[in-house]
Amino acid sequence: MAEQRLHAFVSGRVQGVFFRYESQRVAQDLGLMGYARNLPDGRVEVLAEGERMALEGLLEFLREGPRMARVDAVDHSFAPAAGDLDSFHIR
């Protein structure tokens, strides 16, 4: 099965609540490559590549977030993997 790319923007109370760190932990557990970063407008951007089932698992986490987060919305899209990511890290 071909790898895919998930690009997500998470809004709500998602900065300062360990959202990026927990996203990294979940993504690494799922064997995904990519990154999570804070955006100036208060959202968190997540870009990840891997098998579709693993990406769906990450998306499920993004919709809930860590315990102290409040997720209001997750805007996301899927595309074919570009293959230009080497690990999952925080930016």
Given 13, 25, 37, 38, the catalytic residue: 38
Annotation says 43 is catalytic:
no
Could you tell me which of 53, 52, 57, 51 has the C-alpha nearest to residue 23?
57
Given 20, 25, 43, 67, the catalytic residue: 20
Tokens found for residue 42: 């208060």
Which residues pair with residue 19 across a beta bridge? Answer: none
Annotation says 20 is catalytic:
yes
Residues annotated as catalytic (active site), given as ranges: 20, 38
